[in-house]
Chains A and B, each alone.
Chain A
Amino acid sequence: MKARIRKLATFLEETQEEMGQTINPPTRRAAAVAVIENPCAGKYKEDLSDLITIGEELGELLAQRAVAALGVSGTAVESYGKAAAVGENGEIEHAAAILHPKLGTPVRRVLGKGAALIPSSKKRGGMGVVLDVPLGHKDAAYVRSHFDGMEVRINDAPRANEIMVAVAVTDSGRPLARVGGLTKDQIKGEDGLR
């Protein structure tokens, strides 16, 4: 493995009740996060191919861990998202190199499908910075009930020369979704949008 991992974390959230309404079955979402050394920290590097390779490795590892935390098969995952936080000695482009070129393919392999764009966010920050991982339906980006976000945070990451990378998955939409729009049973699943 090219990535030098200091720490892996998983978060599993289950909502059983919201505003007095019982949520049955509960909505569940999970995130897997890796804290890795940033091989490009502290200097300007034109070629970011090391980070692109790391993104591919982490796509598989984090998708597997997140799905395992959720305790369902990959194909049962309904929505997904990804995000990265770069420590202060790195640049935002390092997060882009990890997230965009190659991370998605292994994620979709773990899930069986995934026609939609994987929504993403990125930032630079210090230890304890909060990542809001955006979530969207994996086969049709316009499914309104599945627009969501999951907050992840690790108190001691990222250090200055580190990057924190997160992949989040769910088996459901928002707990009390009721603002209309495209529903998941209307998905055509051809263009990743509807």
Chain B
Amino acid sequence: MPEVQVRKKLTMVEEIFHEGGPISSKPLRRAAALAVIHNPFAERYVEDIAGFMDDLKPLGLEMAKSLIAALGGDPKTVEGFGKGAIVGSAGELEHGALWHVPGGYAMRQLLGDAKAIVASTKKVGGPGTRLDVPVTHINASYVRSHFDAMEVGVTDAPRSSEIVLVLVMTSGPRIHARVGGLKASEIKGEDGLR
């Protein structure tokens, strides 16, 4: 399988103090790591692509580590996660799906026994395409306070033969979460859902 060729990396961190309501004593932090890589399958149909998932694992780990560092360095502070991919115009959506395993595996490995499925989204688009990466609680998908999303994008990527890979981690609930539902304190942690 081809080597992973990185053109560019982008790290985005947001620290949110309030959104019109009381200023939180513990600001919400959201971080995204983006890597712009060459798409080795661009411009033609390649049947056998699955092996590239293994090649992406080291990059996934590196990105997940950089996110934990961006959120302060302690994996225990990470409460939400998500992932996504933007495939350039000479590729297909299926190439974005190659990111599911290595992206998810990397975050799970570093976050201990994170049980929930990693929320994800993907699309094909041109340079500057924005992606709303969905975010859910790392141990229980139904925790309503942690349903969130982070918009990301890179001005000059993806070029036609590139893929933008994205991982997102957050430090807590939405800043003024107050619409009920399952709370983080009520997680049973058995099935990854509740």
The yes or no verdict on A and B being binding partners is yes
Interface residues, chain A, with chain B CB atoms under 8 Å away: 5-18, 69, 151, 153-155
Q: Quick check: A7 and B16 within 8 Å, CB to CB?
A: yes
Cβ contact within 8 Å between A155 and B9: no
Q: Does B113 contact A (CB under 8 A)?
A: no
Contact of B8 among A6, A9, A16, A69 (CB under 8 A): A16
Using A151-B155, A155-B151 as known contacts, say yes or no to A14 and B15 having CB atoms under 8 A apart: no
Q: How far is the CB of A35 from chain B (nearest CB, A)?
A: 9
Whether A11 contacts B19 in the complex (CB less than 8 A), given A16-B6, A16-B7, A151-B155, comes out as no
Closest to B14 in A: A9
- Out of A6, A8, A151, A154, name the residue touching B19 (CB < 8 Å): A6
Other A-B contacts than A6-B16, A13-B9, 5 sampled, CB-CB below 8 A, are A6-B19, A10-B12, A12-B12, A69-B11, A155-B130
Q: Are A10 and B13 in contact (CB under 8 A)?
A: yes
Instruction: Write out the residue numbers on chain B whose beta carbons fall within 8 Å of the beta carbon of A154.
Output: 14
B10 touches A12 (CB 8 A): yes
CA distance A61 to B17 in the complex (A): 15
Contacts of A7 in B (CB 8 A): 14-17
Taking chain A's interface residues, is the majority helix, strand, or loop, or is none over half, making it mixed? strand
The complex places the Cα of A15 from the Cα of B11 at a distance, in Å, of: 12
Given contacts A6-B18, A6-B19, A151-B155, contact A16 B9 (CB under 8 A): yes
Report whether B17 and A11 are in contact in the complex, using a CB–CB cutoff of 8 Å: no
Q: Binary interface profile of B, 14-29, with partner A (CB < 8 Å = 1, else 0)? A: 1111110000000000
Assess whether B7 is in contact with A17, with CB atoms less than 8 Å apart. yes
Closest B residue by C-beta to A32: B13
A155 cross-chain contacts in B, Cβ below 8 A: 130, 151
Q: What B residues does A8 contact at CB under 8 A?
A: 14-15, 17
> Does B5 touch A at the CB level, under 8 Å?
yes
Closest 9 CB pairs of A and B: A155-B151, A12-B11, A17-B7, A8-B15, A151-B155, A14-B9, A9-B14, A10-B13, A15-B8
Q: Is the CB of B18 within 8 A of A9?
A: no
Contacts of B130 in A (CB 8 A): 155
Selected contact of B7 from candidates A10, A12, A15, CB within 8 Å: A15
Q: Which residue of chain A is the closest to B66 with respect to CB atoms? A: A12
In the assembled complex, the CB of A85 is this many whole angstroms from the nearest CB of chain B, namely 16
From known contacts A151-B155, A155-B151, infer whether A13 and B10 are also in contact, taking CB-CB under 8 Å: yes
The answer on a CB contact under 8 Å between A11 and B12 is yes
Which partner residue on chain A sits nearest B156 by CB separation? A151
- Chain B residues 151 to 179 lying within 8 A of chain A, measured CB to CB, are 151, 153, 155
Contact B15 A13 (CB under 8 A): no
Residue numbers in A under 8 Å from B16 (CB-CB) = 6-7
B7 touches A18 (CB 8 A): yes
Evaluate contact between A14 and B12: CB separation under 8 angstroms: no
Q: How far is the CB of A148 from chain B (nearest CB, A)?
A: 12
**Alpha-carbon separation in the docked complex, A5 to B5 (Å):** 39
Contact A17 B6 (CB under 8 A): yes
Residue of A nearest to B18 (CB): A6
Give A10 to B153 CA distance when docked, in angstroms: 14
Q: Which residues of B contact A153 (CB under 8 A)?
A: 153
CB B107 to nearest CB in A, in angstroms, measures 19
The reply to whether B15 and A9 form a contact with Cβ atoms under 8 Å apart is yes
CA distance A18 to B8 in the complex (A): 9
Task: Decide if B15 touches A11 in the complex (CB within 8 Å).
Answer: no
Q: Chain B residues near A5 (CB, 8 Å)? A: 17
| Also in contact, A6 and B7, with CB within 8 A (given A11-B12, A151-B155, A155-B151) | no
13 example contacts (A-B, Cβ-Cβ < 8 A) are as follows: A6-B16, A7-B14, A8-B17, A9-B12, A9-B14, A10-B11, A10-B12, A12-B9, A14-B9, A15-B7, A16-B7, A17-B5, A155-B151
